[in-house]
A = this chain, B = another copy of it.
Amino acid sequence: MASLLSIFQPNKQLSSFKKQLKNVVGFTPNNIMLYKTALSHRSIREGADENNERLEFLGDAVLGSVIAHYLFRKYPYKGEGFLTEMRSKMVNRQKLNEIALKMGLKKITIYNKFDGALKTSQIFGNTLEALVGAVYLDKGYNKTQTWVEKYIILPHLFMDDLEVIDINIKNKLYGWANKNGKNVDFATIDESLENGRRLFTIAATLDGEIIAQAKAFNKKDASHLAAQIAIEKLGL
A interface, CB within 8 angstroms of B: 48-49, 53-54, 56-58, 60-62, 64-65, 67-69, 72, 76-85, 136, 140-142, 145, 195-198, 218, 220
User: Cβ of A65 and Cβ of B76 under 8 Å apart?
Assistant: no
Q: Which residues of chain B are within 8 angstroms of A67 by Cβ–Cβ distance?
A: 61
* Chain B positions within 8 Å of A218 at CB level: 218
Q: When the two chains form their complex, are residues A54 and B79 in contact, meaning their CB atoms are under 8 A apart?
A: yes
Name the distance in Å between A37's Cβ and chain B's nearest Cβ: 12
Q: Determine if A80 and B54 form an interchain contact, defined as CB atoms under 8 angstroms apart.
A: yes
Pick from B60, B76, B195, B198: contact of A79, CB under 8 Å: B195
A40 to chain B, nearest CB (A): 14
A and B contact pairs by CB, cutoff 8 A, 23 listed: A48-B77, A48-B79, A48-B80, A49-B77, A53-B80, A54-B72, A54-B80, A57-B84, A58-B68, A60-B68, A61-B61, A62-B65, A64-B64, A65-B65, A65-B141, A79-B195, A81-B196, A82-B196, A84-B196, A85-B196, A141-B141, A142-B142, A198-B220
- Report the separation of the CA atoms of residues A141 and B69 in the bound assembly, to the nearest whole angstrom: 11
Please name all residues of chain B whose beta carbon is closer than 8 Å to the beta carbon of A53 when the two chains form the complex.
79-80
Nearest 6 A/B pairs, CB to CB = A61-B68, A81-B196, A48-B79, A65-B65, A141-B141, A53-B80
CB of A179 to closest CB in B, whole Å: 27
Q: Are the C-beta atoms of A69 and B58 separated by less than 8 Å?
A: yes
Known: A58-B72, A82-B196, A142-B142. 16 other contacts (CB 8 A): A48-B77, A48-B79, A53-B80, A54-B78, A54-B79, A54-B83, A57-B72, A57-B80, A61-B61, A61-B64, A61-B68, A81-B195, A81-B196, A84-B195, A84-B196, A141-B142
User: From A72, which residue of chain B is reached at the shortest CB distance?
Assistant: B58
Query: How close is A12's CB to chain B, nearest CB, in angstroms?
Result: 31
Q: How far is the CA of A64 from the CA of B141 in the complex (A)?
A: 14
In the complex, the chain B residue whose C-beta lies closest to that of A68 is B61
Q: How far is the CA of A57 from the CA of B64 in the complex (A)?
A: 10
Given contact pairs A68-B61, A72-B54, A84 touches B197 in the complex (Cβ within 8 A): yes
Given contact pairs A62-B65, A72-B57, A141-B142, A78 touches B48 in the complex (Cβ within 8 A): yes
Residues of the B chain whose Cβ atoms lie less than 8 Å from the Cβ of A142: 140-142
